[in-house]
Amino acid sequence: MLRKPSRLSFYFDPFTVAVTVLPVALFALLLIAPLASVIYVASLYNPAYLLSDPTYFDLKPKGEFLTATAITFRGRQVTVVRVSGVSFSAVVNSLLNGLTVTVVASAIGVAVAFAFARYDFRGKHVLRILATVPLLQTPFINSFVIKKLFDWRDGILSWFICDVLGLPIRIGVTGLAGVAVAQIMTFYPIVYLNVYASMVNIDPSLEEQAENLGARGLRLFRTVTLPLSLPGLAAGAALVFIFSLEDVAAPIVFNEHRLISYQVFNRFIEATTGQLSPAAAQLAVILLALSLAVFAAIRKYVTLRQYAMLSRGGRWKPRVGKLGLRGKLAVYLALAPLLLFSAFPQLAVFTYAFAERWTGPLPEGFTLEHLGSMVSDPIVFRAILNSLTYSLLAIFLIAFLGISVPYAIARFRKLELLDLLATSPIAIPGLVVAVGYFYFFSSSFRGTILDPISSGPPALIVLAYAIRRLPFTARAVFAGLQQVHVALEEASLNLGAGRFRTLVNIVIPLIGLSLLSGIMVSFVYCMSETSTSVTLGGLGGMGEGHSAPITYVMMDYLVRVRGPYIVASLGALLITAQLLVITIVNVVFKQRYAYIGV
């Protein structure tokens, strides 16, 4: 007679303990210890070192937000309007820039989400695709395109205003303002997707009851729709703020050194000599503190309010109405141009990749030479091989943690700490992880393969990729496990199979598509990882046998003015890989593609 396993043996056999304890040990080694090292190193130095240096902390404004100058340009009198932003210091600038980007991106994201969630109109599906295009990862080259877009000399915007419309005005956006614009155009879809998910899940009877009581239009949106969408808005806004703080691509492209992210990156350039400035630790702690404080504050604000909805049960159909004349004018004259404008950088990447030259406002010619350079240029080809190698190696660790952590969380209750460890990397700035890895592994693993000074960065890049991109696989696997009833495992155990055999032969085949989808998403985001790549990746130097990944070489080629064309070709390669994964995950596997922060 078959014996049902006891509750204790079901939950606490040796294999179960192993898949619970081992991930915790890995998180302690690869996440907690490096972060603790950053805090420890920062505590060894007097914080007055930063507070007394006006480069890092100063409340006196410098420069002018906007200037207008009348000049003669190409034989014509024009007014050049330059928007550069007012500067204070690295810490204050980063905080103000993050808040500005968050507020503007949230406003745009909410407006776009509301239009798509509540109204039906021609071209809606095309516009929804355009709204997600900015989330395609094109490190550095998309910021370069935005910089060119707002260049007052040969930018497309100035060309359109001055040469097409005939107005004697040329507009240039540089410095802190340029960084903010680039980040807003890149990050607002994170808010849009999170708010959209909240809005389509609102019980339509609540809005109908509000309308019966006299609420219409803006009042209905302000008192019912928006408050019930706050969980999505808070999640999206918090992530936008964190990503704005840690973004290093836009500051590098706009040569804006008055931000924390650029200062940390600059310290890693000095670290090629084997010593990382203590200022990097203190700045990293400020980044970490700001990120965690905003995330905790927004989360606390949301939990203090009630969002529960009462209904008769079952799934409802979201309220979708028809647009009136004013609504159509708003969509086709404001929303559509905005979405097309924000998607322009990613679309222009392919134009750069195939254009013979693009020195003026418009591209000229067609060539495949730049694509061929990815193979013919030994430095670029080596970078592609490096990124493929690092990402593939990281996938093995991601697969292990991506299976064991969600399995332990789904099958054994009260493991909130493990759940937090698995999802927290998406909210921890990559620059903080990079600084922590340098301090921790250079001191605790000196002389080993993990020492970034004696052995170079390859091993650390693999570990950083694995930790940073684990949440995509973990979330996909956890969603799959929720659809597999525990009774199937109990039946396997009753028939004599051990826990490991049950996992391999029963559970993994049942969640195979979820696991594969998560791994593919993690892989493409490893390939385009930026913050840890341009910091740790530069420790090995450059040359034909270098160990730098794709994104570091993209940055190096742009900074050294070797031309954006081969960088655009690498960006096109990354976009193609992401589009391929999106197609496979959504169309073939019928799974939901996981964007960063969504």
CB 143 within 8 A of CB 183: no
Confidence (pLDDT) at 34 = 95
Domain stop point among 294, 313, 336: 336
Confidence (pLDDT) at 115 = 93
Would you say residue 39 has pLDDT above 90? yes
Would you say residue 63 has pLDDT above 80? yes
- What the block records as the tokens of 72 is 């003669």
Q: Which of 120-129, 272-281, 297-306, 498-507 has the lowest mean pLDDT?
A: 297-306
* Segment 4-33 mean pLDDT: 76
Q: Could you tell me if residue 22 is inside a domain?
A: no
Q: Which domain holds residue 523?
A: 370-426+471-588
Mapping DSSP to helix (H, G, I), strand (E, B) and coil, where does residue 497 land? Answer: coil
* Segment 53-71 mean pLDDT: 88
Domain stop point among 336, 362, 386: 336
| Average confidence score pLDDT of the chain | 87
Instruction: Give the whole-angstrom CA distance, residue 245 versus residue 99.
Output: 10
Instruction: Give the whole-angstrom CA distance, residue 431 versus residue 288.
Output: 9
Whether residue 416 is found in the same domain as residue 286: no
Could you give the number of structural domains in the chain? 2
* Segment 209-218 mean pLDDT: 80
Whether residue 316 is found in the same domain as residue 407: no
Would you say residue 31 has pLDDT above 70? yes
Would you say residue 19 has pLDDT above 90? no
Confidence (pLDDT) at 414 = 65
Would you say residue 212 has pLDDT above 50? yes
Torsion angle of the four alpha carbons 29, 542, 535, 99, in this order, in degrees rounded to the nearest 10: -150
Cβ neighbourhood burial of 521 (10 Å; 0-12, 13-18, 19+) = buried
Whether residue 127 is found in the same domain as residue 237: yes
* Segment 112-127 mean pLDDT: 92
Give Cβ neighbours of residue 265 (< 8 Å, ≥ 6 apart).
248, 251, 252, 431, 534, 535
CB 481 within 8 A of CB 511: yes
Among 9-13, 32-36, 299-303, 446-450, the range with the most confident prediction by mean pLDDT is 32-36
What confidence category does residue 593 fall into, taking pLDDT thresholds of 50, 70 and 90?
confident
Whether residue 257 is found in the same domain as residue 393: no
pLDDT digits (tens, 9 = 90+) for 398-449: 999 999 998 888 777 667 788 888 888 888 999 999 999 999 999 999 889 9
Confidence (pLDDT) at 539 = 86
Among 6-10, 78-82, 266-270, the range with the most confident prediction by mean pLDDT is 78-82
Whether residue 254 is found in the same domain as residue 387: no
Whether residue 307 is found in the same domain as residue 421: no
Global pTM?
Answer: 0.91
pLDDT digits (tens, 9 = 90+) for 345-376: 999 999 999 998 888 888 889 999 989 989 99
Q: Could you tell me if residue 99 is inside a domain?
A: yes
What confidence category does residue 316 fall into, taking pLDDT thresholds of 50, 70 and 90?
low
Whether residue 182 is found in the same domain as residue 265: yes
Confidence (pLDDT) at 299 = 65
pLDDT digits (tens, 9 = 90+) for 463-492: 999 999 999 999 889 888 888 888 888 888
Cβ neighbourhood burial of 526 (10 Å; 0-12, 13-18, 19+) = buried
Confidence (pLDDT) at 473 = 92
Whether residue 264 is found in the same domain as residue 405: no
Domain stop point among 315, 336, 357: 336
Whether residue 322 is found in the same domain as residue 422: no
Instruction: Give the whole-angstrom CA distance, residue 246 versus residue 248.
Output: 6
Q: Could you tell me if residue 456 is inside a domain?
A: no
CATH number at residue 416: 1.10.3720.10
Would you say residue 455 has pLDDT above 90? no
pLDDT digits (tens, 9 = 90+) for 162-179: 888 888 999 999 999 999
* Segment 68-81 mean pLDDT: 88
What confidence category does residue 18 fall into, taking pLDDT thresholds of 50, 70 and 90?
confident
Confidence (pLDDT) at 1 = 43
Q: Could you tell me if residue 94 is inside a domain?
A: yes
- Between residues 304 and 433, which one has the greater pLDDT? 433
Confidence (pLDDT) at 92 = 93
Whether residue 293 is found in the same domain as residue 379: no
CB 421 within 8 A of CB 26: no
Whether residue 393 is found in the same domain as residue 542: yes
CB 339 within 8 A of CB 258: no
- What the block records as the tokens of 143 is 């910021």
Q: Could you tell me if residue 285 is inside a domain?
A: yes
Confidence (pLDDT) at 164 = 87
pLDDT digits (tens, 9 = 90+) for 517-566: 999 999 999 999 999 999 998 887 777 778 899 999 999 998 876 678 99
Phi, psi of 81 (to 5 degrees): -100, 115
- DSSP label of 87: B
Provide, rounded to the nearest whole percent, the portion of the chain with pLDDT above 90: 47
AA letter at 372: G
Beta strands in 393-467 (DSSP E): none
Q: Could you tell me if residue 272 is inside a domain?
A: yes
Q: Could you tell me if residue 395 is inside a domain?
A: yes
Q: Could you tell me if residue 31 is inside a domain?
A: no
What confidence category does residue 313 fall into, taking pLDDT thresholds of 50, 70 and 90?
very low
Instruction: Give the whole-angstrom CA distance, residue 376 versus residue 578.
Output: 24
Confidence (pLDDT) at 407 = 87
Phi, psi of 369 (to 5 degrees): -60, -40
* Segment 314-321 mean pLDDT: 70
Whether residue 140 is found in the same domain as residue 268: yes
